[in-house]
A and B are shown apart, each in its own frame.
Chain A
Amino acid sequence: MLSVDEVKELASRARAGDTASFSKLVRAHYRACYCTALAVVRLPEDARDVAQDALVAAYRKIGSCQEPARFSGWLLTIVRHQAIEHLRTRASARRLRERAAVDVPAPAAPDGLLRDRLLAAAEGLTGRQAEVLFLHDLEGCTHPEIAGLLGISEVLSRQVLFEARKKMRQRLADGPAANHDDDEVPGGGP
């Protein structure tokens, strides 16, 4: 990950219209954006689209980034907003599909079973827990980096990660049935 000074320098240049500097920022933040989006939308492909849309939107709005040193936090805020907007769109699209009674099969994914189990287990996490977990265990951010990105203390970051992992392990150990406790089961059995 880039240092705060590097981010500040690159963001200042990007604000002045330097696309090469923005490209470096994109590369450095792409995975963090993806993790933040995944924490909200909980579907990898959707999270990738949200991250990309948010990065494009960030370049368009970069003039409003008043403090280049805090570019990373500013960018993740855009990602969160974009992800929430995506959830709204997804919800209305789902309602439309349900109304039309059209079944759209989900695309098959590699490691589908494990991936589905992880995603189902992550359903039990709060947005903050999922974000910290993905940033740490997927992106590989350190606690100081997470604290800087999310504007929280390192202690809180450690605490949230601990809780998130505990919940995940519990739900993974309990199996798929436990992960769907809260879900509606169509025509649920006895």
Chain B
Amino acid sequence: MSDPNEKLDLSCLDLAPDDLSLDAATALVMARVLEDQAQRQSLWSLLGAYSKWAAGLATATAAVFWFLALSAPEPAPAPTAPQPEAALLSWSEPDAEPSVTEMLVVLGDAP
């Protein structure tokens, strides 16, 4: 029985057995790393360029809406409903002399 402390020969499983093949493998990995880095950088620069345009467009749109909101005419105040109670109370004053027309308006019977 062979000694379990003895090293097994696994060299046939080695795909980078010498310095040359190790250098080649390293170069291959680094080429992929650099390609991946370049792709990511170009993606970021593309996103960066588009984001400038997008930010400009958003600012312009916001400015237009703001301008339109400021320049729109003030909404007309809602017509106030006549308050007959107050008018009737004011007529209870001793010196109050409402005209006929005024009374008709307050009582809702104006022509």
Residues in A lying within 8 Å of B, measured CB to CB: 19, 22-23, 26-27, 30-31, 34, 38, 44-45, 47-48, 52, 55-56, 59-60, 110-111, 114-115, 118-119, 133-134, 136-138, 162, 165-166, 168-169
Contact = CB atoms under 8 A, between A and B. Distances in A.
A185 B72 CA distance: 85
Interface in B21-63: 22-23, 25-26, 28-30, 32-34, 36-37, 40
Given A55-B33, A56-B36, A30 B10 contact: no
A23 B26 contact: yes
11 contacts: A26-B26, A26-B29, A34-B15, A34-B16, A56-B32, A56-B33, A111-B12, A118-B10, A118-B12, A134-B10, A137-B7
Interface of B is mostly: helix
CB-CB nearest 5 A-B residue pairs: A111-B12, A138-B10, A27-B26, A166-B4, A165-B4
Contacts of B34: 19
Nearest to A158: B5
Classify chain B's interface size: 20 to 34
A52 B13 contact: no
A27 B9 CA distance: 23
Interface of B: 1-2, 4-16, 22-23, 25-26, 28-30, 32-34, 36-37, 40
Given A138-B11, A169-B4, 14 more contacts: A26-B30, A26-B33, A30-B25, A30-B29, A52-B32, A56-B32, A110-B12, A114-B12, A119-B13, A137-B9, A165-B6, A166-B4, A168-B8, A169-B1
Contacts of B40: 60
Interface of A is mostly: helix
Contacts of B28: 52
A111 B23 CA distance: 23
B2 A30 contact: no
A104 B16 CA distance: 26
A114 B23 CA distance: 26
Nearest to B14: A138
Contacts of A27: 22-23, 26
Nearest to A117: B12
Contacts of B5: 162, 165
